[in-house]
Structure 1
Amino acid sequence: MSNYVLWLILAALIIAVLAAVAGNLLWRLRLQTQAEKAALQQAEQESLAEQIDAQQGIEVLARCYLGGQVGGSELALRIAVLAETARRDRNYLKDTAVFSEMAAALAHIPTHQAWKSLSAEQRAKYSTEMALLEGKYSEQIRAAAAAIVE
């Protein structure tokens, strides 16, 4: 009989150790899950803040265009980039689609430092091309900018 008691005590000890290990692992899992949820919430808040900033930037650019402070090419390029971040409803996407379309047509034109390194002849060629595109898209851009500002 003492042999059975010894085995029962040993079995109970093993079960207690395994239960303690399982409890510890469950506690760690709970802490990890809470940390992941907090990180996800923070990432969602940051993403929402970026979207709001992008939307506000688009509205400012649209107002500047309507006020004659920004050209159509620059407007299209800037709004096309911001529109990727500023996800909204379908109507908003329709309003910004013309900017993405025009930006795609302007994509081959050098910008920033590459523009500065072009010769005067090349700049004139690209400027003419930008003016033609601005003329082609002017009505659509003006309508989309007005819709964004509203």
Structure 2
Amino acid sequence: MHAVTLSLLLAGLLLIAALAAYAWHLWRRVWARQQAQEEARQERQERLGGDLNILASSLLDEQLPLIEGAIRIKVLLDNYDRDLSNDSRCQVFHLLFEATTDVPTHAAWKALDKEQRRRFEKRFNELELQHKAAARTAARWLLDDGLKRTQPNA
């Protein structure tokens, strides 16, 4: 009976050791996956930050139409940093985005007749006259301060 008990104890210890090794293996996979996800998140943030820099610079250099630039900046800001997007200095981007939500895009824009396009373009011009200075100020702030304070290790 002593040999049977010793054998069962040894088998139990081997089973516990095997399960512990398997659990360790699974935890290592979890940690590796978490690290890969964090690296992907950081790369995404860097890419979005770079895209925001390009858009803000292009808006300031007038290489990008104001309305289009404001819409793109707003969407990227929402994905980059919700707090930064909601900063009062960025509200002009939200305002222009909301003011143009009913404007058709892509194929739907091409399908509009000339009169409908002119009405939208007239509204774009009015919005640009009304908000150009604020949009440029917001873009300058993003480049000078806003994006720098949200960058990792900055």
- TM range, smaller chain: 0.7 to 0.9
Greater displacement, 79-88 / 109-118: 79-88
How much has 1:92 moved relative to structure 2? 7.0
Partner of 1:33: 27
Match of 1:13 among 7, 11, 25: 7
Match of 1:42 among 33, 36, 39: 36
How much has 1:131 moved relative to structure 2? 2.2
Tell me, what secondary structure is at the counterpart of 1:69? Answer: coil
Highest Rg: 1 or 2? 1
The 2-side partners of 1:9 and 1:135 are apart by 93
Deviation string 1:98-128 (CA, Å, 9 cap, x unpaired) is 3133212222211112211211121112222
Deviation string 1:34-69 (CA, Å, 9 cap, x unpaired) is 111111111111111111111111111111111111
Query: Aligned in 2, Cα 1:52/1:133: closer, same or farther, shift over 3 Å?
Result: same
How much has 1:21 moved relative to structure 2? 1.7
Tell me, what secondary structure is at the counterpart of 1:51? Answer: helix
Partner of 1:137: 131
The 2-side partners of 1:102 and 1:144 are apart by 12
Q: TM-score, normalised by structure 2?
A: 0.81
The 2-side partners of 1:15 and 1:136 are apart by 82
Unaligned segments of structure 1, at least 5 residues? 1-5
Conservation of the 8 A alpha-carbon contact between 1:83 and 1:96 = no
Q: Which runs of 4+ in 1 moved over 3 A?
A: 90-93
Amino acid in structure 2 at the alignment position of 1:130: F
Amino acid in structure 2 at the alignment position of 1:63: S
What fraction of aligned residue pairs are identical, expressed as a percent?
24
Conservation of the 8 A alpha-carbon contact between 1:92 and 1:148 = no
Match of 1:117 among 101, 111, 116: 111
The 1-side partners of 2:94 and 2:21 are apart by 50
The 2-side partners of 1:37 and 1:98 are apart by 41
Query: Aligned in 2, Cα 1:98/1:16: closer, same or farther, shift over 3 Å?
Result: farther
How much has 1:130 moved relative to structure 2? 2.1
